[in-house]
Structure 1
Amino acid sequence: MKQQRWFRSGWPPLVVVILVLLIWQLAVTWGNTASWLLPSPLKIWTDGTTDMPRVWMHTLATVRIMLIGFATGVTVGIVTASILHMVPGFKAGFYPLLILSQNVPTIALGPLLIILFGFGILPKIILISLVCFFPVTMATLDGFMQTDRNMYNYMKMIGASKRQIFFKLEMPHTLPFLFSGLKISATYSVMGAVIAEWLGSGEGLGYYMILQKSSFRADREFVAIFIIIGLSLLFFWLIALLEKLVIRWNAKRSS
């Protein structure tokens, strides 16, 4: 049943993607469009295969800083949400500042971080962490706020400490909300890594795209774009799979 349900939900997007690629290929072929302006899917595939060793090297560099930044941002986000929830008065004081922090464009923070920390890996990690931090923090806070109040009052009535309530009731209850934030941050982390590499790097997909833009190689630009999309989808799928393994009661309820 699950395989049939996956097949029914999975084939329509696949058919749409195939149709789009087919129309794209036919339009470029029949329209005699210059490859430097709009390459065909076959041209993109051929050139990506030819340049695969270099593309693979840059992809690994992007994945490395993406994973480090994601792990850092998620850890700081969970800790921040827990502190704001546990410490009285902190949420009222810092919550508006969290909202205001998202009004600063990510692209504007990059040059400032480079001025402060140089052209090494540190400013890239900080930028990716900032991108991943906010969704996890907000989702975790929402999970804490949605805790079952009847169960909360019952645990207080039987003498459970604040620490016990937090780890045995509030934290398990917020896991579905946390994983929602993780899935958003997973896709944001790829975007953040590419932006960080645009601003200053000697490797990575963002750096690779800048090189190809200077050479007017639109085909290789598309190769990098498709790899970025693939990384985002793969990372999202891995987080969704981890969610099903960790939150088994939630997976059973939704199936």
Structure 2
Amino acid sequence: MKQLAAASWRPMSVLLLLFIAWETSVRLFHIETWLLPSPIAVIKEAYSSWGSFSVHLLATIRLSILGFGIGTIFGLFIAIILHLMPFLRKSFYPLLILSQNIPIIVLAPLLVIWFGFGILPKIIVIILVCFFPITIACLDGFRQTSAELKHYMIMSGSNKRQLFWKLEWPHALPSIFSGLKISATYSVMGAVISEWLGSKEGVGVYMTLSSSSFRTDRVFVAIFAIMLLSLLFFLIIQLLEKLCIKGYRKKESS
């Protein structure tokens, strides 16, 4: 906790200075609220509209968690299959790279045409955003496993299953969690983009309605909520990383 406080005071100080400069500029140049609201105006709007905004926020949180969970399972499954079957990795790895060159905002309307306006196209959008960092990080973790330890276990009579679960998987955990932290923040962005496809609630819907009515202060409320939610997801994955890696180390030492 002390390390977290010591590491966070510098970025918090910079952020505070930016808010002060923002507030001062708005007041000094008399910028209209519809063009650029001050931080205090945004905070006031967040407080006054919390009752209606919280419904949209909870909808985005549910969608993000669901999409991130499915995307994580999908990404890990692909990584494990490609790792255990090298001939598939040589065939499909370039296709994974190419899949990320398709803009999600362009693909989203096609998903609506194919799957309708339900939850399925929204989940697919989040999965497409989330699975790639997890798959690539997981494959990199498997590839960086110590060749000497692998050779030693093979010489000791370990089969492929033991080699994977006792050496390659634990060794890849730091890389996997790095991918999870990236994907956790992407899941919020993916959820907001998917909500633009025709949802009835969500932060994406709230942003669309606010921008169309020139309520810029509400748009900033949504932006700050997305940033805080992404940061919260990142910190949760970071905490899980410490617990899991510590657990594996205790298990190995015992």
Map 1:185-204 to 2 at 5 A. 185-204=183-202
Greater mean alpha carbon deviation, residues 9-18 or residues 219-228: 9-18
Q: Distance in 2 between matches of 1:72 and 1:146?
A: 26
Kept in 2: contact 1:190–1:232 (CA 8 A): yes
Structure 2 residue aligned with 1:114: 112
Kept in 2: contact 1:176–1:250 (CA 8 A): no
Superposed displacement of residue 7, structure 1: 3.5
Structure 2 residue aligned with 1:136: 134
Q: Distance in 2 between matches of 1:160 and 1:217?
A: 63
Q: Distance in 2 between matches of 1:104 and 1:70?
A: 20
SS at match of 1:34: coil
Equivalent residue for 1:42, pick from 40, 43, 58: 40
- In the alignment, structure 2 segments of 5+ residues that lack a partner are none
Q: Distance in 1 between matches of 2:67 and 2:107?
A: 15
Deviations 1:43-94 (A, max 9, x none): 1111111110111000000011100100111101101100001124111111
Q: Distance in 2 between matches of 1:6 and 1:251?
A: 22
Superposed displacement of residue 22, structure 1: 1.1
Kept in 1: contact 2:117–2:197 (CA 8 A): no
- In the alignment, structure 1 segments of 5+ residues that lack a partner are none
Structure 2 residue aligned with 1:61: 59
Q: Distance in 2 between matches of 1:7 and 1:130?
A: 35
Structure 1 residue aligned with 2:148: 150
SS at match of 2:158: coil
2:35 is equivalent to residue 32 of structure 1: no
Paired-residue identity, %: 55
2:210 is equivalent to residue 212 of structure 1: yes
Greater mean alpha carbon deviation, residues 112-121 or residues 240-249: 240-249
SS at match of 1:216: coil
Map 1:67-78 to 2 at 5 A. 67-78=65-76
Q: Distance in 2 between matches of 1:35 and 1:246?
A: 47
SS at match of 1:168: helix
Q: Distance in 2 between matches of 1:52 and 1:81?
A: 41
Equivalent residue for 2:9, pick from 11, 14, 31: 11
2:96 is equivalent to residue 98 of structure 1: yes
2:188 is equivalent to residue 227 of structure 1: no
Q: Distance in 2 between matches of 1:225 and 1:251?
A: 39
SS at match of 1:199: coil
Kept in 1: contact 2:22–2:38 (CA 8 A): yes
What is the root-mean-square deviation in Å for CA atoms of aligned residues? Answer: 1.5
Map 1:175-186 to 2 at 5 A. 175-186=173-184
SS at match of 2:62: helix
Q: Distance in 2 between matches of 1:13 and 1:206?
A: 27
Deviations 1:108-136 (A, max 9, x none): 11101111110011100011011000000
Kept in 2: contact 1:244–1:251 (CA 8 A): no
Q: Distance in 2 between matches of 1:109 and 1:7?
A: 41
Letter in 1 for 2:177: F
SS at match of 1:38: coil
| TM-score, normalization by structure 2 | 0.95
Superposed displacement of residue 249, structure 1: 8.1
**CA 1:233–1:250 in 2, change beyond 3 Å: closer, same or farther?**
farther
| TM-score, normalization by structure 1 | 0.95
Deviations 1:3-51 (A, max 9, x none): 2x43432111111111111111111112111111111111111111111
Letter in 1 for 2:204: G
What is the count of residue pairs matched by the alignment? 250
Superposed displacement of residue 183, structure 1: 0.4
Superposed displacement of residue 250, structure 1: 9.5
